[in-house]
Protein backbone atom coordinates (compact mmCIF):
# COMPACT_ATOMS: atom_id res chain seq x y z
CA UNK A 1 0.00 0.00 0.00
CA UNK A 2 1.24 3.56 -0.67
CA UNK A 3 2.96 5.52 2.05
CA UNK A 4 0.61 6.95 4.70
CA UNK A 5 -0.70 10.46 4.21
CA UNK A 6 0.56 13.21 6.55
CA UNK A 7 -1.39 13.65 9.79
CA UNK A 8 -4.25 16.15 9.86
CA UNK A 9 -6.02 17.96 12.66
CA UNK A 10 -9.80 17.68 12.43
CA UNK A 11 -11.66 19.04 15.42
CA UNK A 12 -15.21 18.29 14.30
CA UNK A 13 -17.07 15.80 12.16
CA UNK A 14 -17.87 18.58 9.69
CA UNK A 15 -14.16 19.27 9.22
CA UNK A 16 -13.52 15.57 8.66
CA UNK A 17 -16.27 15.39 6.04
CA UNK A 18 -14.93 18.40 4.14
CA UNK A 19 -11.42 16.97 4.36
CA UNK A 20 -12.78 13.89 2.59
CA UNK A 21 -14.40 16.07 -0.06
CA UNK A 22 -11.18 18.03 -0.67
CA UNK A 23 -8.94 14.98 -0.90
CA UNK A 24 -11.37 13.12 -3.16
CA UNK A 25 -11.65 16.16 -5.46
CA UNK A 26 -8.01 15.89 -6.50
CA UNK A 27 -6.51 12.90 -8.33
CA UNK A 28 -9.29 10.43 -7.37
CA UNK A 29 -11.98 12.68 -8.89
CA UNK A 30 -9.89 13.26 -12.03
CA UNK A 31 -9.43 9.53 -12.56
CA UNK A 32 -13.08 8.77 -11.83
CA UNK A 33 -14.27 11.53 -14.16
CA UNK A 34 -12.14 10.34 -17.06
CA UNK A 35 -13.26 6.74 -16.55
CA UNK A 36 -16.97 7.64 -16.65
CA UNK A 37 -16.49 9.87 -19.67
CA UNK A 38 -15.20 6.76 -21.40
CA UNK A 39 -18.13 4.73 -20.10
CA UNK A 40 -20.64 7.32 -21.29
CA UNK A 41 -19.17 7.15 -24.76
CA UNK A 42 -19.43 3.35 -24.72
CA UNK A 43 -23.08 3.63 -23.65
CA UNK A 44 -23.81 5.77 -26.72
CA UNK A 45 -21.93 3.45 -29.06
CA UNK A 46 -23.85 0.46 -27.67
CA UNK A 47 -27.17 2.06 -28.61
CA UNK A 48 -28.35 2.63 -25.06
CA UNK A 49 -30.11 5.79 -23.94
CA UNK A 50 -28.55 8.35 -21.64
CA UNK A 51 -31.08 7.48 -18.94
CA UNK A 52 -30.12 3.81 -19.06
CA UNK A 53 -26.42 4.65 -18.82
CA UNK A 54 -26.93 6.95 -15.84
CA UNK A 55 -29.16 4.35 -14.16
CA UNK A 56 -26.36 1.77 -14.30
CA UNK A 57 -23.91 4.31 -12.89
CA UNK A 58 -26.16 5.28 -9.99
CA UNK A 59 -27.25 1.75 -9.10
CA UNK A 60 -24.09 -0.26 -9.85
CA UNK A 61 -21.18 2.22 -9.74
CA UNK A 62 -18.62 -0.38 -10.73
CA UNK A 63 -17.32 -0.01 -14.26
CA UNK A 64 -16.41 -3.65 -14.99
CA UNK A 65 -19.90 -4.75 -13.98
CA UNK A 66 -21.52 -1.93 -15.95
CA UNK A 67 -19.61 -2.82 -19.10
CA UNK A 68 -20.47 -6.49 -18.67
CA UNK A 69 -24.15 -5.57 -18.26
CA UNK A 70 -24.20 -3.66 -21.54
CA UNK A 71 -22.27 -6.25 -23.53
CA UNK A 72 -24.27 -9.23 -22.29
CA UNK A 73 -27.60 -7.47 -22.75
CA UNK A 74 -26.76 -6.46 -26.31
CA UNK A 75 -25.64 -10.02 -27.00
CA UNK A 76 -29.08 -11.29 -25.98
CA UNK A 77 -27.98 -13.14 -22.85
CA UNK A 78 -30.72 -14.26 -20.40
CA UNK A 79 -31.41 -11.83 -17.56
CA UNK A 80 -30.46 -14.46 -14.97
CA UNK A 81 -27.06 -14.96 -16.61
CA UNK A 82 -26.53 -11.20 -16.73
CA UNK A 83 -27.42 -10.82 -13.05
CA UNK A 84 -25.11 -13.66 -12.00
CA UNK A 85 -22.21 -12.38 -14.13
CA UNK A 86 -22.48 -8.81 -12.90
CA UNK A 87 -22.80 -10.03 -9.33
CA UNK A 88 -19.69 -12.19 -9.62
CA UNK A 89 -17.68 -9.33 -11.10
CA UNK A 90 -18.74 -6.90 -8.41
CA UNK A 91 -18.10 -9.44 -5.64
CA UNK A 92 -14.52 -8.17 -5.65
CA UNK A 93 -15.80 -5.14 -3.72
CA UNK A 94 -17.13 -7.26 -0.85
CA UNK A 95 -13.74 -7.72 0.91
CA UNK A 96 -13.18 -3.98 0.66
CA UNK A 97 -16.51 -3.21 2.29
CA UNK A 98 -16.11 -5.67 5.16
CA UNK A 99 -12.56 -4.48 5.85
CA UNK A 100 -13.39 -0.75 5.78
CA UNK A 101 -16.77 -0.40 7.50
CA UNK A 102 -15.63 -1.77 10.90
CA UNK A 103 -12.92 0.89 10.96
CA UNK A 104 -15.36 3.77 10.41
CA UNK A 105 -18.08 2.38 12.62
CA UNK A 106 -19.70 5.00 14.83
CA UNK A 107 -21.95 4.47 17.88
CA UNK A 108 -25.54 5.52 17.35
CA UNK A 109 -25.59 4.94 13.58
CA UNK A 110 -28.37 2.57 12.45
CA UNK A 111 -27.31 -0.56 10.63
CA UNK A 112 -29.26 0.26 7.45
CA UNK A 113 -27.15 3.40 6.99
CA UNK A 114 -24.05 1.21 6.64
CA UNK A 115 -25.79 -0.80 3.92
CA UNK A 116 -26.50 2.44 2.03
CA UNK A 117 -22.98 3.73 2.59
CA UNK A 118 -21.52 0.47 1.27
CA UNK A 119 -22.68 1.52 -2.20
CA UNK A 120 -20.15 4.36 -2.31
CA UNK A 121 -17.22 2.07 -1.48
CA UNK A 122 -15.43 1.37 -4.73
CA UNK A 123 -11.76 0.66 -5.31
CA UNK A 124 -10.80 4.35 -5.35
CA UNK A 125 -12.83 5.11 -2.23
CA UNK A 126 -11.43 2.15 -0.34
CA UNK A 127 -7.84 3.02 -1.10
CA UNK A 128 -8.21 6.72 -0.29
CA UNK A 129 -10.07 6.21 2.98
CA UNK A 130 -7.84 3.37 4.21
CA UNK A 131 -4.81 5.62 3.74
CA UNK A 132 -6.32 8.49 5.70
CA UNK A 133 -8.23 6.95 8.64
CA UNK A 134 -5.14 5.96 10.70
CA UNK A 135 -4.59 9.71 11.17
CA UNK A 136 -8.20 10.50 12.09
CA UNK A 137 -9.95 10.21 15.41
CA UNK A 138 -12.32 7.21 15.47
CA UNK A 139 -15.36 9.47 15.76
CA UNK A 140 -14.34 11.40 12.62
CA UNK A 141 -13.74 8.48 10.25
CA UNK A 142 -17.39 7.94 9.39
CA UNK A 143 -17.76 11.58 8.30
CA UNK A 144 -14.56 11.40 6.25
CA UNK A 145 -15.87 8.37 4.37
CA UNK A 146 -19.13 10.19 3.62
CA UNK A 147 -17.26 13.18 2.20
CA UNK A 148 -14.78 11.15 0.17
CA UNK A 149 -17.10 8.46 -1.18
CA UNK A 150 -20.20 10.57 -1.82
CA UNK A 151 -18.30 13.17 -3.84
CA UNK A 152 -16.97 10.51 -6.23
CA UNK A 153 -20.41 8.88 -6.46
CA UNK A 154 -22.23 12.17 -7.15
CA UNK A 155 -19.92 13.30 -9.97
CA UNK A 156 -20.06 9.97 -11.82
CA UNK A 157 -23.52 10.42 -13.45
CA UNK A 158 -22.54 13.90 -14.67
CA UNK A 159 -19.42 12.61 -16.42
CA UNK A 160 -21.37 9.64 -17.78
CA UNK A 161 -23.64 12.18 -19.48
CA UNK A 162 -20.65 14.21 -20.67
CA UNK A 163 -19.09 11.14 -22.25
CA UNK A 164 -22.42 10.22 -23.85
CA UNK A 165 -22.73 13.57 -25.63
CA UNK A 166 -19.01 13.66 -26.49
CA UNK A 167 -19.03 10.20 -28.03
CA UNK A 168 -18.92 11.58 -31.59
CA UNK A 169 -15.53 13.19 -30.93
CA UNK A 170 -14.09 10.34 -28.85
CA UNK A 171 -12.69 7.45 -30.92
CA UNK A 172 -13.58 4.06 -29.48
CA UNK A 173 -9.93 3.21 -28.53
CA UNK A 174 -9.83 6.43 -26.51
CA UNK A 175 -13.12 5.59 -24.78
CA UNK A 176 -11.87 2.15 -23.83
CA UNK A 177 -8.58 3.60 -22.61
CA UNK A 178 -10.37 6.10 -20.36
CA UNK A 179 -12.43 3.31 -18.80
CA UNK A 180 -9.25 1.48 -17.81
CA UNK A 181 -7.68 4.52 -16.13
CA UNK A 182 -9.29 3.63 -12.81
CA UNK A 183 -7.84 0.10 -12.47
CA UNK A 184 -4.52 1.43 -13.76
CA UNK A 185 -4.55 4.09 -11.03
CA UNK A 186 -5.23 1.47 -8.39
CA UNK A 187 -2.42 -0.70 -9.72
CA UNK A 188 0.04 2.18 -9.63
CA UNK A 189 -0.91 2.95 -6.02
CA UNK A 190 -0.41 -0.71 -5.20
CA UNK A 191 3.03 -0.65 -6.80
CA UNK A 192 4.25 2.26 -4.69
CA UNK A 193 5.12 -0.04 -1.83
CA UNK A 194 6.10 -3.64 -2.52
CA UNK A 195 7.87 -4.37 0.73
CA UNK A 196 5.79 -7.46 1.44
CA UNK A 197 6.60 -10.52 -0.70
CA UNK A 198 2.89 -11.41 -0.81
CA UNK A 199 2.21 -8.34 -2.94
CA UNK A 200 4.89 -9.32 -5.42
CA UNK A 201 3.50 -12.85 -5.51
CA UNK A 202 -0.05 -11.60 -6.17
CA UNK A 203 1.01 -9.34 -9.04
CA UNK A 204 3.30 -11.96 -10.54
CA UNK A 205 0.68 -14.71 -10.44
CA UNK A 206 -1.89 -12.40 -12.01
CA UNK A 207 0.49 -11.40 -14.80
CA UNK A 208 1.40 -15.02 -15.58
CA UNK A 209 -1.90 -16.83 -15.02
CA UNK A 210 -4.07 -14.27 -16.83
CA UNK A 211 -2.64 -14.76 -20.34
CA UNK A 212 -2.18 -18.52 -19.87
CA UNK A 213 -5.75 -19.14 -18.70
CA UNK A 214 -7.08 -16.94 -21.48
CA UNK A 215 -5.93 -19.57 -23.98
CA UNK A 216 -7.66 -22.26 -21.92
CA UNK A 217 -10.96 -20.38 -21.59
CA UNK A 218 -11.40 -16.78 -22.68
CA UNK A 219 -14.77 -16.61 -20.92
CA UNK A 220 -13.51 -17.78 -17.51
CA UNK A 221 -9.87 -16.69 -17.55
CA UNK A 222 -10.34 -13.54 -15.45
CA UNK A 223 -12.38 -15.30 -12.78
CA UNK A 224 -10.02 -18.28 -12.62
CA UNK A 225 -7.00 -15.97 -12.42
CA UNK A 226 -8.52 -14.17 -9.46
CA UNK A 227 -9.51 -17.33 -7.62
CA UNK A 228 -6.32 -19.32 -8.24
CA UNK A 229 -3.84 -16.46 -8.07
CA UNK A 230 -5.53 -14.67 -5.18
CA UNK A 231 -5.87 -17.84 -3.08
CA UNK A 232 -2.28 -18.88 -3.73
CA UNK A 233 -0.98 -15.38 -2.95
CA UNK A 234 -2.94 -15.30 0.30
CA UNK A 235 -1.65 -18.62 1.66
CA UNK A 236 1.91 -18.02 0.46
CA UNK A 237 1.73 -14.57 2.02
CA UNK A 238 0.63 -16.06 5.34
CA UNK A 239 3.69 -18.31 5.32
CA UNK A 240 6.14 -15.60 4.26
CA UNK A 241 4.75 -12.41 5.85
CA UNK A 242 3.15 -14.02 8.88
CA UNK A 243 -0.48 -13.64 9.99
CA UNK A 244 -2.26 -10.44 9.06
CA UNK A 245 -2.18 -7.84 11.81
CA UNK A 246 -5.54 -7.39 13.45
CA UNK A 247 -7.10 -3.93 13.07
CA UNK A 248 -7.03 -3.22 16.80
CA UNK A 249 -3.24 -3.67 16.80
CA UNK A 250 -2.56 -1.19 14.01
CA UNK A 251 -1.50 2.31 15.07
CA UNK A 252 -4.36 4.75 15.05
CA UNK A 253 -7.04 2.10 14.58
CA UNK A 254 -9.61 1.45 17.23
CA UNK A 255 -12.53 -0.90 17.03
CA UNK A 256 -15.93 -0.11 18.48
CA UNK A 257 -16.99 -3.14 20.47
CA UNK A 258 -20.38 -1.78 21.40
CA UNK A 259 -23.69 -3.18 20.28
CA UNK A 260 -24.41 -0.56 17.59
27's CB contacts (< 8 A; 6+ apart) are 185
- 203 with 74, same domain: the answer is no
pLDDT in tens, 174-224: 877 787 777 777 777 666 656 667 778 888 888 899 899 888 887 788 778
pLDDT in tens, 145-158: 999 999 999 999 99
- Residue 230 CB neighbour total at 10 angstroms: 16
- 211 with 110, same domain: the answer is no
- 108 with 207, same domain: the answer is no
Q: What is the DSSP letter of 243?
A: S
Contact (CB, 8 A) for 167 and 44: yes
Q: Would residue 120 count as lying in a domain?
A: yes
- 207 with 100, same domain: the answer is no
Q: What is the pTM of this model?
A: 0.77
- Residue 15 backbone phi and psi in degrees, to 5: -65, -40
- 98 with 218, same domain: the answer is no
- 114 with 212, same domain: the answer is no
Q: Would residue 86 count as lying in a domain?
A: yes
| Range of the structural domain that residue 211 is part of | 193-244
**How many domains is the chain partitioned into structurally?**
2
Q: Would residue 259 count as lying in a domain?
A: no
- 161 with 201, same domain: the answer is no
Contact (CB, 8 A) for 209 and 229: yes
175's CB contacts (< 8 A; 6+ apart) are 37, 38, 39, 41, 42, 45, 163, 167
- 39 with 99, same domain: the answer is yes
Q: Would residue 6 count as lying in a domain?
A: no
Q: At 77, which helix (H) or strand (E)?
A: none
Q: Would residue 156 count as lying in a domain?
A: yes
pLDDT average, residue stretch 12-35: 93
Amino acid sequence: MPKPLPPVNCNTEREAMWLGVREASRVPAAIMSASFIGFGSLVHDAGWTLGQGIATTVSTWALPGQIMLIEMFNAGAPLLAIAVSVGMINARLFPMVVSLLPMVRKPGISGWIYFVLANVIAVTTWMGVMLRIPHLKPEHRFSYLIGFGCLLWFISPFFTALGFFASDVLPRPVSVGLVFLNPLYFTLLFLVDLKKPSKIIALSLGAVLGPLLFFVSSDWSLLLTGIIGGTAAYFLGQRIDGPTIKPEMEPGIEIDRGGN
